[in-house]
Amino acid sequence: MTPDERAALRRHMEQELAALRETIAILEGQVDPVAPDAAVGHLSRLDTMQSQAIAGVSLGNSRRRLLRLESALRRVDDADFGECENCGEPIPAARLLAMPESTLCVRCAEQMQTG
Ligand SMILES: [Zn+2]
């Protein structure tokens, strides 16, 4: 990975982190318990509970992604950052941009998935 690629990747991760923190703040607002008088009727209350459940799942996913991104950002200056943990081959920049938290190349990730 060239220093330019590394710098671009770092900027990209910082932007993703900022966006993710905003998403988490919004989702946290949505999973707040509904005050009883906020519900107009039974259906709308069910509706609200359903969207809360969905927001809760998204919130969990976003928080996990945030942790992975933060840890990737801490490692971005390491000499071996961007190398596959399994085979040591460089992970393609496009994959790192799409999923900065990747620690495996596509081939190894697929192998792990299929067992
Ligand atoms: Zn690999």
Measured in Å, residue 27 CA sits from the centre of ligand 1 at 35
Q: How confident is the model at residue 34 (pLDDT cuts 50, 70, 90)?
A: low
Distance in Å, CA 90 to ligand 1 centroid: 8
Q: Does position 86 have pLDDT exceeding 90, yes or no?
A: yes
- State the pLDDT at residue 114: 79
Helix, strand or coil for residue 83?
A: strand
Contact 101, 68 (CB under 8 A): yes
* pLDDT (0 to 100) of residue 20: 95
**Phi-psi group of 42: left, alpha or beta (phi > 0 → left; psi -120 to 50 → alpha; rest → beta):** alpha
Query: How far apart are the CA of 103 and the centre of ligand 1, in A?
Result: 9
Q: What are phi and psi of 88, to 5 degrees?
A: 80, 0
Looking at domain 3-114, its CATH class is mainly alpha
Distance CA(107)–CA(115), nearest Å, equals: 12
Q: What is the pTM of this model?
A: 0.75
- Neighbouring residues of the ion ligand 1, judged by CB less than 5 Å: 84, 86-87, 105, 108
- Give the pLDDT band of residue 56 (cuts 50, 70, 90): very high
Backbone angles phi, psi at 54, to 5 degrees: -65, -45
